[in-house]
Amino acid sequence: MPCTAHYDSPLGDILLAADEIGLTGLWFAGQKYYPAQLPGLAEGSCTVLEQAKRWLDAYFAGDRPDFTPTLHLVGTQYQVAVWESLLTIPYGKTVSYGAIGAITAERLGKERFSARAVGAAVGRNPISVIVPCHRVVGADGSLTGYAGGLNRKERLLTLEGGLCLPTCLKEKG
C-alpha cells in the first residue's frame, strides 16, 4: 500500500512517499515541484520509508550511508536515465550538467544532450538528497539551480565536504 511520512531534517521538513516498489519521493517542504497532493497515499509506516529515514539520519549526522533505500524512479525514460546518472556521483564530489548529459547520452546510446535538457530533468528529480541532484553544478563550478533552494544545496554540499566557501579558502591559504 502506498504511504507517506514526514522527516524533520536540519534543513526543514521533508515529505517522503513510497509505493509497493520503493521510495517515489523525497521533497523539502515548499520546494519547487512539491506535490500538491499524492492521491491514494496514506500517512503511515512502511519498510522503505523506515529505510529512507535511517539513510537520512546517517547522512545528516555527517556519515556516508552504506546503503540506498529501494528506489522507484517514476518519470519519462529520459528523466529516469538522468536520475540514474545522478546516482553515479560520489559523495562529496560535484559534476557539471554537461557531464551528466554525457553520461546519460552514453547510457541511452545518443550522441549528446544539452545542459539545458539535463537541467530540466535534474530539476524534476523527485527524490532529493538520496538521488544527489545537489551535486550538479554549472560548468564553471557555480551553484546553479536546485528545486529545494540554493541555500539548501550549499548546505548539503558543505555537509559532504564538497563545497569550499570563502572561509574555507582562508583557512587553506
The model's pLDDT over 78-135, given as tens digits with 9 standing for 90+, comes to 999 999 999 999 999 999 999 999 999 998 888 888 888 899 999 999 999 999 999 9
Does residue 46 carry a catalytic annotation?
no
Q: What confidence score (pLDDT) does residue 147 get? A: 82
CATH number of domain containing 39: 3.30.160
Question: Quick one: 85 and 159 in the same domain?
Answer: yes
Question: Quick one: 56 and 20 in the same domain?
Answer: yes
Question: Using CA atoms, how far apart are residues 1 and 109, in angstroms rounded to an integer?
Answer: 36
Q: Which candidate in 3, 46, 133, 168 is catalytic?
A: 133
Question: Quick one: 32 and 95 in the same domain?
Answer: no
Question: Quick one: 100 and 154 in the same domain?
Answer: yes
Q: Name the residue range of residue 126's domain.
A: 77-163
Question: Quick one: 55 and 95 in the same domain?
Answer: no
| Residue 137, amino acid | V
Query: Is residue 149 one of the residues assigned to a domain?
Result: yes
Query: Is residue 72 one of the residues assigned to a domain?
Result: no
User: Any bridge partners for residue 16, and if so which?
Assistant: 5, 26
The helix (run of H) or strand (run of E) holding residue 84 is: helix 77-86
Query: Is residue 70 one of the residues assigned to a domain?
Result: no
CATH number of domain containing 147: 1.10.10.10
Question: Quick one: 41 and 88 in the same domain?
Answer: no
The helix (run of H) or strand (run of E) holding residue 143 is: none
- For Cα atoms 34, 131, 140, give the angle at the middle one, nearest 5 degrees: 95
Question: Quick one: 46 and 87 in the same domain?
Answer: no
Cell 528523466: give the residue.
79
Q: What is the mean pLDDT of the chain?
A: 86
Query: How is residue 137 written as a grid cell?
Result: 553544478
Question: Quick one: 56 and 91 in the same domain?
Answer: no
The count of domains in the chain is 2
Question: Quick one: 49 and 109 in the same domain?
Answer: no
pLDDT above 80: residue 164: no
